[in-house]
Every structure is written in C-alpha cells, then in structure tokens.
Amino acid sequence: MCLCGGLADDNARIIFLAVVLAAYMLAGAALFQRLESDLEIRQAAEFWRVYHAFRRHHLRGSPLALQRLHELLYAYGNASATGIINKRRRWDFSGSFHFVGTIVTTIGYGSTAPQTTAGKAAVVLYGFFGCSGGILFFNLFLERIITLLAWVLRNWHVYRLRRRLRRSTLVSRRVSKSSNAQHPSLPDILDDDDHMDLDQWKPSVYWVMLYLSTTSCIIACCAAALYASLEGWDYFDGLYFAFVSFTTIGFGDFVSTEKPSYPHVHWYRFANFVFLVMGCCCIYSLMNVTSIVIKQGLNYVIHKLQYGKRDVAAPYLPRKQSSVSTIYYSKRRPTRLVGKDSIRAEDSSETPRRMSGEMICMKDLLSTNKVSLAVMQKQLYDAAQRGGGALGATPNHQVLKPGAVGPLAIASEKFESKSAINRQKSHETK
C-alpha cells in the first residue's frame, strides 16, 4: 500500500515521525526557554553584582590584584567542575568503578572525566565494547521482562477462563438434569469469532506498559527517598535525578555518591548501583514498549490521512479475547475445535491476526531460553549468510524489512504472532 504518489508506508512513517519530532523539539525549546530564561538572567546579574561589589571594596586601582582574582576564579571553577575540591576522590577504586558504570550504562554524567591523553584513549576503546555489552544486556533484559509479564498475564487469563468454564459447566449440568438429557454438553459461551487456542492468546500491550510504569515509579520513589536522606536533596530533586539517570540522559547537575563522607558508605554505594541498574533496565523496557504504542498511533494517523473518514480504525482496535471452550478442547485437539467451530478456526488461521503490533504472543516462559540471542544479531547474521542479492529472491527467503533489527524488533516480536504466518506458509508448501 502506498501513500502520496508512491510513498511506501515505512517511508511515510519515518517522514511523519521526523516531522512530529521536529515539532516536538521546537515546542520543547519554547517551553524551556520560557521556564528557565528568567532565572538564568537573574543568576548572571547576581554574580556580576557580587563581583563588582568585591572589586569596589577590595581591589581599588590594583590591576595586578584584579588579574590574580581572575586567575583564582578560573582555577576554582575548573577544580569545582572536575571534583578536585569539596568532594570525594574521583579516581580511587570506588570512584573509578562509578565512572565505568556511567560508561557501560551510557549515562555519562560528565562530572568525572579523564584528563590524561592515555585515559581519553582508554575511554574510546573501553567505552566501545562496554556500551555494546550494556546495550546487549538491556536487549536481553527487555526480551525476558516482557516474556515474564506476558506469562503472568496469560496465567491470570487462564485462571479466569477456568472459573468461567466451571460455572458454565455447572449450569449446563443443571439444565441437562432438568430436561432429562443423557449426554450433557458444554454450552456455547464464546463471545466472538476468534476461536484460537491459548498458545496464541495475547494480552494487551497497555497492561504490560502499565506494569512496567508502576515498577519504574516504585524503583524511582525508593531511590529518591534514599538520595534525599543521604545527599541532602529535596525529594523532588531525588526523583528528577532518578529519571535523568534511569533514562541515561545524565545531565550531571546532580550526581550521587559525590560527598567526601557518608554514613554506611559501602552499603549506600551498593544500593546506588542496584537502583541504577534496575532503573535503567525497567525504563529501557518501558520506553521500547511505549515506542510500539507510538508506532501504532503513527500507523493510525497515516491510514486516517490516506482513507479519510472511511473505516480504517478497525484493524487497529483490539478484539475481545474470551475463548473458554479452548481450555476444554486444548488437551484433546490442540489445533482444532470441534464441530462447526473447527471450520472457522481453520479459516482464521489462514489470515493474519488483527492488532499484529499491539498484543503479546505468549508461549511458555522457559521456551524462550532456547533462543537467547537478540533478534538484532540473528537478523543480521541471516542476512549476511544469504547475501545482499539473495534477499527476496524466492518466496521462502525472509526479507530484512525496515525495523526488523534492534530493540524495537525485540519488543515487536513479543507483541506479534508469527504462528498464523507459519501455518500459512506450511499449508502453501503442502
């Protein structure tokens, strides 16, 4: 399907996203200019007031003293920025470990930085492999945390369906006894035509987003309480520092474990490290899940612009999942339903599911351990083995599409069902 005279959906999506991000950045620039500009002007005016007052009272007609004052201010500013004075040592073992932690997590506060040429060269080499390993760890964590949440939601869904099945079975038995029926049957309590087995049931991405948001907020609130008590910050400043650190923005205006001394310093540094790792992992997963929702919104807007007021929202709206009879028949016929329902189930398997990017395909939690490598590496390796010219040469070859690699692909794979497509391919092969 093409847009705007031959512009493909993928190209239209990235162009539209670039326009939205540009507008978002322009609006953000105007917002922060309005919020911070006046304070910046007042702080600059206050500095020059103190500076000129000092000159009038202590440096009357003394150019040499004025020059030394400027040298002192310059040296003090550099020493304060690099943490040489009024702060703990930066390059003891604990400080160095904190520094490499900011490299691997890509936070980069900027409060600690190498000054020697050898140190800067080491950062280039060490940071390359460290950041690569950190991104791989985040990707693997993303894959497993989404799988774990989907496993929990699936078990809860199965529990609810079993309760409904027991109630419906009791009702059917009472009805059969009252009508003197010899063979009681299970009532038809299906709410829609989506008669698929529970291996293909997928909870909403918004529930996963809600649980990740809740977990991230709990970690940030606990970390803020710790920072407010030990660093002397306001609680909101602690929350602000937690967000800036967990999202790996790392402005460096607030940095933890920088004072010369702390009560229970070793426990505090360990707790700070744990909070940073857990917070970065959860926020990384949350941002990738949120990107799926943003992508769905972009798709909806693009199709809305293309089709106007016609019915385009249906492919993006969730369908109600309530297939109780699949529990009853899954042990006997895991891929089929009995009677006339089996025909509809087979027909539905030939077409892809709706909401391909908005629901999680759930299998067993332990089965995901068989494929532990990230999707990015697998896709790139398969593409390299096939070669650039072989891509798309035959229908059996998997084409490397835009967005098929990287953390977004890992999240998308957890939210997409490939079983219907695989069954369709196997059916065509037969």
Please give the average per-residue pLDDT across 353-361, as a whole number: 41
Would you say 184 and 271 are in contact if contact means Cβ atoms under 8 Å apart? Answer: no
Tokens 């809600």 belong to: 210
48 bridge partner residues: none
Q: pTM higher than 0.85, yes or no?
A: no
Lowest-confidence pick of 46-50, 68-72, 144-148: 144-148
Query: Please, which residues have CB within 8 angstroms of residue 245's CB and are 6 or more apart in sequence?
Result: 107, 256, 276, 279, 280
Instruction: Please give the torsion angle defined by the CA atoms of residues 151, 153, 155 and 160, in that order, rounded to the nearest 10 degrees.
Output: -170
The type of residue at 366 is L
For residue 315, the model assigns a pLDDT of 47
Q: How far is CA 31 from CA 16, 28, 292, in A?
A: 22, 5, 27
Tokens 């080499």 belong to: 125
- pLDDT of 219-278, one tens digit each? 999 999 999 999 999 999 999 999 999 999 999 899 999 888 889 888 999 999 999 999
The type of residue at 322 is S
Nearest to 280 by CA among 142, 412, 415: 142
Q: How confident is the model at residue 305 (pLDDT cuts 50, 70, 90)?
A: confident
For residue 198, the model assigns a pLDDT of 57
Q: Which two tokens stand for residue 335?
A: 């891929």
Q: How confident is the model at residue 359 (pLDDT cuts 50, 70, 90)?
A: very low
Number of neighbours of residue 379 by Cβ within 10 angstroms: 17
Tokens 């040298």 belong to: 71
Q: How far is CA 164 from CA 141, 177, 192, 207, 276, in A?
A: 35, 20, 16, 22, 43
For residue 8, which phi and psi values (nearest 5 degrees)? Answer: -70, 165
- pLDDT of 89-141, one tens digit each? 888 898 899 999 999 999 999 888 898 999 999 999 999 999 999 999 999 99
